[in-house]
Chains A and B, each alone.
Chain A
């Protein structure tokens, strides 16, 4: 490995860890970021000259610490700054990569603190843990760079001014806060997953970042089955990424996807992780969703899909997460397991309740169930309704294709 490659690799592997430690030691997010960046810049020079150190992470952390000490000493005008500098010169803790008291865990929980706006949580997580630059994050979320920079500045300011603690929450807060952290990573993944066209490659990169963060979290919280469940879920979805659209950018349904083109290593890893998680005997929404994804990805053909199992899992999920969208998915599964009428009954129930009115997948689901039962005129009407509501181009083209099929039959 050349020194340049070693620095690039260290950046991917160690950025979050170096920054997280510096934030703990200095208590100053901006200074920590500056010093971490500086350490990576120095690494390029020094590693070329002296070779790559045995433990790049430890080297980078120490270098960044020294840099912080210099800056604080130079700026030490008041007693407080001097005190900070004194703290930095305190003997260093042994570099710990066992993951037990990992600073990254403190960083994840702080970035995902519920007192921050969800957009701020996502942006901070990408900037500090994943090491994405502000322009990269701005591009991924389709906002101007200045807007994203402002969002990051504001979030860091709130952490400081509002006294958001830099720590892993105590036991009584942990379950709730863990759910929040998992939610941020899942949201990140979905942002990337929703991007389908080639021009959206920056956004697709979010999937890879989300998987990486889920891996870190699963490693740092080995006793949390939902962290494993989330990683399994992301891998099982990500495995299908290449087959979700065809060469023309048109959406391909699960039924019609080329299963040989799925990433089978990811399928296997996801399925194995899910089993490990389920053995803990504490199921949760991510494990159940991963189990549903596994039903799909481990079926040899679309016809082999165990829809009865999937319907039962959606039933279980709806019990844990009472959401009409989950029930809509259950309607699809029931329609496949017990015939379209079973699904249509549940769709009718959701229509009466009205919570999903305006959501294009409600009429689209009705349309698909009607199409499967051969009621094409009614199906066409439901597709027309779905087309009035749909926003995503790939989905619009898909619905238009289906509508044309129904009309021509």
Chain B
């Protein structure tokens, strides 16, 4: 089954670039696990919510908001699409992610196929 792991981290917390993540020892276990098992089928590291622009359309007017669609204490800092056998495997990967270990959280969402 395919799952999206939504990596949530606290707003105004640490903001590591993809290059920094690759070097960061806290990510080693997770990165090695997903690499060795070849479960990641896609994903992206996202810039913080403060860099977001939210688009809505009312009638023929395009309304823009500076910031995320909803203000919250955590924001989605990245997405990994993984393919594993079941929810237990997805949870096991998610629980190794530094975000889950270090004050953030990982939302596991089944991909609708």
Could you tell me the distance between the alpha carbons of A218 and B1 in the complex, rounded to whole angstroms?
A: 33
Size range of the interface on A?
A: under 10
Q: Does A173 contact B (CB under 8 A)?
A: yes
Q: Is the CB of B91 within 8 A of A165?
A: no
Could you tell me the distance between the alpha carbons of A162 and B109 in the complex, rounded to whole angstroms?
A: 7
Could you tell me the distance between the alpha carbons of A342 and B41 in the complex, rounded to whole angstroms?
A: 62
Q: Does A44 contact B (CB under 8 A)?
A: no
Cβ-defined partner of B110 (8 Å) among A113, A161, A169, A173: A161
Closest to A114 in B: B91
Q: Does A164 contact B (CB under 8 A)?
A: yes
Q: Which of B84-113 contact A (CB under 8 A)?
A: 85-88, 90-91, 108, 110
Closest to A173 in B: B88
Q: Which residues of B contact A113 (CB under 8 A)?
A: 87
Q: Is the CB of A165 within 8 A of B85?
A: yes
Q: Which residues of B contact A161 (CB under 8 A)?
A: 110
Q: Is the CB of B86 within 8 A of A164?
A: yes
Q: Does A261 contact B (CB under 8 A)?
A: no
Could you tell me the distance between the alpha carbons of A164 and B88 in the complex, rounded to whole angstroms?
A: 7
Interface of A, secondary structure class, is loop
Cβ-defined partner of B1 (8 Å) among A115, A163, A169, A173: A163
Closest to A165 in B: B86
Q: Is the CB of A163 within 8 A of B110?
A: yes
Q: Which residues of A contact B110 (CB under 8 A)?
A: 161-163
Q: Which residues of A contact B1 (CB under 8 A)?
A: 163
Q: Which residues of B contact A162 (CB under 8 A)?
A: 87, 108, 110
Q: Which residues of A contact B91 (CB under 8 A)?
A: 115
Could you tell me the distance between the alpha carbons of A161 and B90 in the complex, rounded to whole angstroms?
A: 13
Could you tell me the distance between the alpha carbons of A173 and B91 in the complex, rounded to whole angstroms?
A: 11
Could you tell me the distance between the alpha carbons of A146 and B108 in the complex, rounded to whole angstroms?
A: 29
Interface membership of chain A positions 146-168, coded 1 if the CB is closer than 8 angstroms to chain B and 0 otherwise: 00000000000000011111000
B91 to chain A, nearest CB (A): 7
Could you tell me the distance between the alpha carbons of A181 and B87 in the complex, rounded to whole angstroms?
A: 18
In the complex, which of the residues B3, B87, B91 has the most CB atoms of chain A within 10 Å of its own CB atom?
Answer: B87
Could you tell me the distance between the alpha carbons of A144 and B22 in the complex, rounded to whole angstroms?
A: 52
**Interchain residue pairs A-B with the least CB separation, the first 4:** A165-B86, A163-B1, A163-B86, A163-B87
Contact surface of A with B, Cβ cutoff 8 Å: 113, 115, 161-165, 169, 173
Q: A162-B108, A163-B87, A163-B110 are in contact. List 16 more A-B contacts (CB 8 A).
A: A115-B87, A115-B91, A161-B110, A162-B110, A163-B1, A163-B3, A163-B85, A163-B86, A163-B90, A164-B86, A164-B87, A165-B85, A165-B86, A165-B88, A169-B88, A173-B88
A-B contact pairs, 13 of them (CB 8 A): A161-B110, A162-B87, A162-B108, A162-B110, A163-B1, A163-B3, A163-B85, A163-B86, A163-B90, A163-B110, A164-B87, A165-B86, A169-B88
